Structures are given as structure tokens and as C-alpha cells.
């Protein structure tokens, strides 16, 4: 039997994650592997993980909204966020606290209802403020030492999916998700379109 993702999670961390309704993510080093790839004419490429993508669609199907706060500005991120139907996206946010405040300015969520996943020191101010702080397994040591949850998987290679699965497990929904795809309609009838063409 596969071990529970909740093993080692403190009672306080579980309580915090139970209250989360919005998952905000950094991009480089979280949704991607952190590598910066450039073509011969200067065009930029980023690698995203399909399992993370599936996790974000499944999260939305189960009532967990996702958004982005990133220090860089990229048309690739704009395209990827559109594919996921994300409306809470701020790029070019070197200082991420004003970005966080802007994303919450409509009053739909409180800070306690927000989880954030970041991987480096620029993310620490947001990680300190939100209800639940997480990072990929290969995040900088200063981040790993301060968050509620350190993923076993690295950035851009399943860390986001791991956090979504943890949220689903904590809410008693993880098995139901698997059953929907094993015996049921999968994405069919959900109104969701899977980005990137993976089925």
C-alpha cells in the first residue's frame, strides 16, 4: 500500500492546509525545473511537467483554484496560465508581497486560505504570510527550513502534483479522483479541457 502523503505533517500544518482554497505558485523552479533555455535568436523555452498540469486541472475540478506569482515576465507563462483558465496571475513581481495583495484585493480569499509554493529566497516574504507554505524538494535550503511542507519531488517534475495530491488526500478526495478515471468518465462531463494534449 502506498504511504500517506500526510506522514510527518504536523497537526498545525494539517489544520492550515485543510483551510486552503487558493494555491499560488512561483514558476521557475516550481512549475518548471528552473533551467533557462534560450534559442539561437534569443527565444526562451521552459519545460513544464504534464503531471503537474493534470494536477492543476484536477485541483480546479475539486474546488481548489490556482494562480501564479512570478518574478519574470514571459509569453510562455501567459500561454500556460490561459490553458489552465487561471485568472489570478502576476508576472514581473520582483517584490512579491504587492502581487499577493493585488491577487487577494477582491476579498474572495483570506491569507489563511492561501497556499504558496516557492523555491528561493525571493519567495520567503510570501511563504511567511500565507496560511500554508510549501516548496519543491530541490528548493534552496533557507526555504526548505521555513515551510510547512517540503515535497519529495523536485520543481518542474511533479512537486506541484504532489502538493495537490496532499490537499486532495487531506480532504478525503484523492481516492475518488482515481476512481473517476478508473471506472468513471475521467475529464468527460467535467467541462475541463486538459492543456497540452495529454489524455
Tell me the pLDDT tens digit for each residue of 142-164: 999 999 999 999 999 999 999 99
Q: What percent of the chain has pLDDT over 90?
A: 71
Task: Provide the mean pLDDT of the chain.
Answer: 90
Q: What are the residues whose beta carbons fall under 8 Å from the beta carbon of 196, sequence distance 6 or more?
A: 48, 50, 53, 83
Render pLDDT for 58-93 as a digit per residue (tens, 0 to 9): 999 999 999 999 999 989 899 989 888 899 999 999
Average pLDDT over residues 164-188: 87
Angle between helices 159-170 and 11-18 (to 10 degrees): 90
Q: Number of C-alpha atoms within 13 angstroms, CB side, residue 103?
A: 30
Contact 115, 17 (CB under 8 A): yes
Cα 103 from chain centroid?
A: 15
- Per DSSP, the chain holds a count of helices (H) and strands (E) of 8, 8
Q: What is the pLDDT of residues 116-134, one digit of tens each?
A: 999 999 999 999 999 999 9
Q: What is the model's pTM?
A: 0.90
Amino acid at each position: 500500500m502506498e504511504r500517506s502523503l500526510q506522514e510527518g505533517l504536523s497537526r498545525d500544518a494539517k489544520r492550515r492546509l485543510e483551510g486552503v482554497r487558493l494555491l499560488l505558485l512561483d514558476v521557475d523552479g516550481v512549475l518548471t525545473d528552473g533551467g533557462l533555455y534560450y534559442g539561437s535568436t534569443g527565444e526562451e523555452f521552459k519545460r513544464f511537467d504534464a503531471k503537474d498540469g493534470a494536477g492543476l486541472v484536477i485541483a480546479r475540478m475539486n474546488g481548489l483554484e490556482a494562480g501564479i506569482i512570478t518574478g519574470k515576465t514571459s509569453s510562455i507563462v501567459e500561454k500556460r496560465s490561459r490553458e489552465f483558465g487561471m485568472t489570478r496571475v502576476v508576472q514581473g513581481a520582483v517584490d512579491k508581497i504587492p502581487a499577493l495583495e493585488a491577487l487577494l484585493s477582491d476579498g474572495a480569499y483570506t491569507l489563511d486560505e492561501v497556499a504558496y509554493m516557492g523555491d528561493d529566497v525571493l519567495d520567503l516574504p510570501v511563504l511567511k504570510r500565507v496560511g500554508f507554505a510549501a516548496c519543491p524538494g530541490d528548493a534552496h535550503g533557507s526555504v526548505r527550513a521555513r515551510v510547512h511542507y517540503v515535497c519529495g519531488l523536485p520543481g518542474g517534475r511533479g512537486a506541484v502534483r504532489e502538493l495537490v495530491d496532499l490537499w486532495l488526500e487531506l480532504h478525503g478526495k484523492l481516492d475518488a479522483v482515481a476512481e473517476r478515471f478508473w471506472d468513471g468518465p475521467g475529464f468527460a462531463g467535467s467541462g475541463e479541457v486538459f492543456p497540452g494534449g495529454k489524455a
